[in-house]
Amino acid sequence: MINEIFKSYGISPIPKDYTEAMAYVPYQSNNPKFYSVPHGFECGTMFPTLNKQFYGSKCMVEMNDD
């Protein structure tokens, strides 16, 4: 069914021009600590060791109109 959808819309699950990437996913210990469900939902993860803050402003360059 999924292949029929891709064909009918003329799209592919993998683009023709894609960039390869490398990912690192750390192993969890046998008895990891968990957040509570509401806090985990707010953080986007249930595991405190995977809760990494995103600071998008560090990637931006300030521009002056001067």
pLDDT tens, position by position, 44-61: 889 898 888 777 665 555
Q: Is the pTM of this model over 0.75?
A: no
pLDDT of 58 reads 56
Name residue 21's amino acid.
A
CA-CA-CA-CA torsion sign (39, 51, 56, 17): negative
Cα(37)–Cα(44) distance, integer angstroms: 10
Task: Spell out, as residue ranges, where the chain has pLDDT lower than 50.
Answer: none
Cα(62)–Cα(49) distance, integer angstroms: 32
Cα(52)–Cα(43) distance, integer angstroms: 9
